Structure formats: C-alpha cells, structure tokens
Amino acid sequence: MTTIPEILSASIQKAFEEAQQDNLIPAAEIGDIAVERPQNPEHGDYASSLPLKLAKPLKKNPIEIANVLAKYLKKDGLLEDVVVANPGFLNFVLSRKWLQDQVDQMLSDPKSYGVTNAGEGKKIQVEYISANPTGRLHVAHARGAVIGSTLANVLKSAGFEVQQEYYLNDAGAQIDKFNRSLVARYMQSLGNDVELPKDSYPGEDVIAVAEKIRDLDSANYDTDDPGALSDLGKAGIRLMIEGIKEDIESLHIDFDNWFSEKSLFEDGQFEKCIGLLKEMGYVSDKDGATWLLNSNLGEEKDNVLIRTNGTPTYFSTDIAYHYNKFIHRKFDIVIDVWGADHQGQVLRLKSAMKMLGCDPDNLEMILVQMVRFKKGETTEKLSKREGNVVPLIELVNEIGADACRFMFLSRAHETQLDFDLDLAKSQSSENPVYYIQYGHARICSILDLAVEKKINFSNGSVSMLSHESEIQLINKILELPSIINAIAVTYEVHHLPHYSLELATAFHNFYQNCRVISENEKDLGLSKARLKLCAATKLALVNCLELMGMSKPEKM
RNA sequence: GCGCUUGUAGCUCAGUUGGAUAGAGCGCAGCCCUGCGAAGGCUGAGGUCGUGGGUUCAAGUCCCGCCAAGCGCGCCA
C-alpha cells in the first residue's frame, strides 16, 4: 500500500522536474519532499512548505515558486485542487471521489490495508526485556516489554521479517547468587533455621520457587551434596523462567525465540568470536586480564573481556551474542530495547561490532528511560535489593493488560517516568484506551443492528459519503500506513496510541453528526453507505488495537 | 568533573526531516439523549513552550551559555 504523502511527494517531484525543463525554475537539488497533514482543515487535506524551503537556493519569491509548481501539478484521480497560500504553502485538496472509493477499496481487500513495504522484506530482530531469570518481572520491565512488542508488530506491518527475542542471562555471577538465595530459601521452606546470605535476592519470588520445588519434588535435595545443589539451582531457574513466561503472557506478549547465553559457551561461539578479535589485533593482555582495545577506535577507554580469574565479562558475552545475531543468524538490522542504565554499553558494543566487520549503523539501541517508583511524596528507584518492587503481574491484575500497555506505550521512550501505582489504579477506569475500544464496540453494535434489520450494505454507494465528518474520518483512516512507515524509520511507537485516539475521535465525531441506521425508508441508501464507512473504520481500529497488543471488545 | 537524556496547561503527555492561530486526555465551569451504546458530542477558563543569547523569511523544534531532574563513566550485570 502506497501512502498518500508518498504519492503527493512524487507528484511534486515530477512537477518540479517539468517546470525545470521549461526553464520556469532554476536547477536545484531538492531532498525529500515533506508533505504533511495541516492542523487547520481550511489548509486542505495535505500541505507542503517546499516553496518556502526553495526560496533561498532558487533565489525566487516563494509564492512565485508555488504558483509554478501548482500549475504543473496534475489534477489526477487523487488530487482535486492545489491552492497556493501565503507565505508560500501548497495546500492539496484531495478528490472526494477518490477518498470515497478508498472505502470500497479497503472493504474489498481488507488484508492489504495498513500493510506497507518500507521494510522490503529485510530480516530484523527486536530483542527486549531480557531480564535475568533470577526473579519475576516487575513494573519497571513493563515499559520496555510493551515498547518492544509493539515495535515488533509495527515492523511486521511495515514489511520486515521480524523475530522477537528474549536473551536469557543463564550464565554468569548472578546465577550463582540466585543459587545461593534459593538454597537458603529451600532450607527455610523445610523448616531449617537458615539465614539468607548477605549478597542474595531477598524477593518473595525466590521463596515461591523454593516452596514449589519442595512441594513438587518428592526426592528431596541433599543440601550437602554439590551435585544435588546444582540440580536444585537448575530446577529453580527453570521454574523462574516459567514464571517470567506467565508475566509476559499477561501482557499479551509472545516471543519467537529464547536465546540462551550459556549456549554461546557450550558450542564454542564465544571462543571463536574472541579469537577473531585477537587475530585482528584488537586484544591485549594487561594486568593478568584480557582487554579489548576500544580506545583505538575513539572510545574513551579499553574494556576488560576476560577477568584475571578467567571468567568473561558481561561485555564480552554481549559481543559474542551480537556477533551471532549478525553473522550466524544474518539479521540485516538488530534492535535492542534496553534500560537507560545500559547507556555506557552502546558505543563500545558498536565499536566492537565494527571491529568484527558488522556495520554499527545496523545495530540500534532503544534506551528506555528508567521508571521510578512514587510513594507518597518521595520517589525512589525500583530495586530488587530494596524490596520495593511491584510485581508486573500485580499491576496487570489491578488495571488490566490493555490499560497497562496503553499507559506505557503513549510516552516517548526517552522521557523519564515516575510511576505511581495508586494513581495508575485510580486512573485506569478513565484510561484513554477505553475511548478507542468504545469506538470499536459502538461500531460492532451498529453492524449488529444492521444484521438484525436485515440491511445488506454490500451494494451501498460510497459516493453518498459527503458530510465533513465523513470526509475527515476517511482521511484519518487513510493516515495509518504513513504512521506505520514513520515508526519503521524512527522506532518511536508512541505515535501509534496517539493516532489511535485521533482515529477514535474522528469516528465519535462522525457518529454524533451522522445517523447511520435510519428509521426512515428513504434514507436506506445513505445508511448503506455509512455502514460501509463503519466497517472500514472498524478495520482501521482493529489494526491499531492489534498492533498495540490490545483486546478489541465488541461489548463493554 | 566529563558524557547521554529530559524540562510544553493544575496533573499526565503529544507536537512527524524548522512552517500557518502551540494540541489531547484527566481535573474545573456549563450545555446536549421521547434517535444506531452519554465509556459519547459541544462550549469555556487555563501557556512569557525551564532560562538567557544566537542562526533566518519563519524556532517548542537547530546552535551556544546557564538552571533543574534522571542515567552513565566497574576485572557489576
């Protein structure tokens, strides 16, 4: 599906070239031609400020340029009129007939609505959440979760081949720490008076896992036997991952792949990757540790790959992991949705990728700013250590997955967020998400009524859709593809919930102004046309709700 | 100290490569169902876009200084 701005940009480009051939405009480079929807409907359906931008390089009056371009712009099926406005805008009025016909077009081919080809079938991976499997997810994870999953959905619609991945940090020091905590909790659950080790996870989630193991496993673990303890740890991680999967499902998220950090070591990929860096001379031994010479590539400092004690750092496994994404699994683009506290990692990982021959521009990190927890007047950082975490599942149970998703989705990822659970609870009933879902439910009930009254509107004539709110609604519906394309470039998913609200507003407006199913027999033709518009709106709303991972209730 | 990010209505936030009169939801003051769902529609009050300069036809948007907040600068993950 080609978007309207794309069509108009191409027309302007053509007009510009033709005017140049006729020597009415001096030669000049024009980059991308911006066509946008003006805020004021009096300024047309779409508008471009190109003449204002060209005024300087062309050394001509912007109005003059606009007039020339307007003359060369073909009034074709789509374009009905071009109006030149001060101080040099081109305002486009779309043909009513073309707009009306799009309703029929959508209904005859509903699958191609909202699908674009911006991604050109490229392989793209979105990795998100990737929380350590040493505890259940909490509210701070929800933000990245919602942003990542929605981004993946949108990229699919934009024509990418998308994989959603969760990176399981199942190797490393945090696993030992978890094991120590679990053993203590396990002993406690058996009635032993054991203290929790100093450096451990104090959360309830570990207790729950320990008790579950006690209840499930008839063969008790001999806590004096190292082998048994190792088995206990493995069972604990397994159960914790099951819990994380529950958390994720509660938010309507489904991963395509769970990638094990441990697997990087088991099949030698880690060794190979580090070996490669060594061969290329990017690695040096110093103070008994192995270092990556990042500073050669403009980084502030070198970084440790292998510690003095022989264990790999988080950084080095991350290099191997991303090498695997690009080289072994051949992703064209890799997106990591990370917490803002990973910021220091961005540049050095990119520079390591460059050493390995991967284009760092194909590695995109989306840094989601921290969520802080608000308690009365004070705010504090959520921390497992502090024990002030709110489990994700508790939030979802309180306010529902839809409201939860919408809340985190409608804020740009780089803004900080002070999260107030009480406020979230009290506001959940007036969450804007219901405004969108209400529009959907309203349409469903109208369409039900049409069935009840045996109105078959498949032969409705869309040419009867001429009320201002009808035209505005069609325009709004047709905007979705350009929203999807914009997100495919900027990865800013928060545009989607805002667009959805505008779409719902346009529908509620139409509903208020235009009676759909009339009691009057002679209005049957108009009813049928409006039913078509309702069906098209439903298609658009369903698209939005599905992209955002929300339910689409027919009744509320 | 250095780096990254943020600062827009009472609150929570949008503002699309710089464009026309800075928008929405909630809250507040009102109006609209003997008509398909009032979880809706309409009207109003509420803004020196943190602050001071600069760039230009045009700045909430770009550049510089300052103020405030968050994060980062580990042989932690």
A348-CA/B5-C1' distance, Å: 18
- Estimate in Å the CA A481 to C1' B15 gap, whole number: 20
Protein CA A231 to sugar C1' B49 (Å): 59
Q: Which residue is nearest to nucleotide B77 (CA to C1')?
A: A314
Residues A554 and A444 sit within 8 Å (Cβ to Cβ): yes
Residue A449's region, left for phi above 0, alpha for psi from -120 to 50, else beta, is alpha
Provide the CA A526 to C1' B53 distance, Å, integer: 60
Those residues of chain A that have pLDDT short of 70 are 217-219, 374-388
Give nearest nucleotide to A306 (CA–C1'): B75
Q: What is the pLDDT of residue A224?
A: 80
Q: Phi first, then psi: what are they for A336, rounded to 5°?
A: -115, 125
Only one residue has tokens 């705010």, namely A379
Q: Is A214 left (phi over 0), alpha (psi -120 to 50) or beta?
A: alpha
The CA–C1' separation of A484 and B2, in angstroms, is 38
Q: Rounded to whole angstroms, how far apart are CA atoms A201 and A97?
A: 65
Nucleotide nearest to A490 (CA to C1'): B16
C1' of B11 to CA of A139 (Å): 21
Is the separation of the CB atoms in A369 and A116 below 8 Å? no
Give burial (CB, 10 Å; 0-12/13-18/19+) of A327. Answer: middle
Q: Where would I find the H helices in A324-432?
A: 343-355, 392-399, 401-409, 421-427
Strand B nucleotides, any atom under 7 Å from protein beta carbons: they are 3-7, 12-17, 19-27, 35-42, 56-58, 69-77
> A405-414 burial by CB neighbour count: b if 16+ within 10 A, else e?
bbbbbbbebe
The gap between A40 CA and B20 C1' (Å) is: 8
Nucleotide nearest A286, CA–C1', reads B75
Nearest nucleotide relative to A55: CA against C1': B57
Which pTM value belongs to this model?
0.95
| Nucleotide whose C1' lies closest to the alpha carbon of residue A501 | B24
Å between CA of A455 and C1' of B36? 13
3-state helix, strand, coil in chain A (%, to 5): 55, 15, 30
Taking alpha carbons only, the member of A420, A313, A367, A320 closest to residue A147 is A367
**In the numeric block, which tokens belong to residue A322?**
């991303």
Whole-angstrom distance, CA of residue A335 vs CA of residue A160: 13
- The answer to ipTM > 0.90 is yes
Task: Kindly report the backbone phi and psi dihedral angles of residue A487, in degrees, each rounded to the nearest multiple of 5, phi listed first.
Answer: -70, -35
Which residue bears the tokens 């991350």? A318
User: Which nucleotide in the DNA or RNA is closest to residue A507, CA to C1'?
Assistant: B40
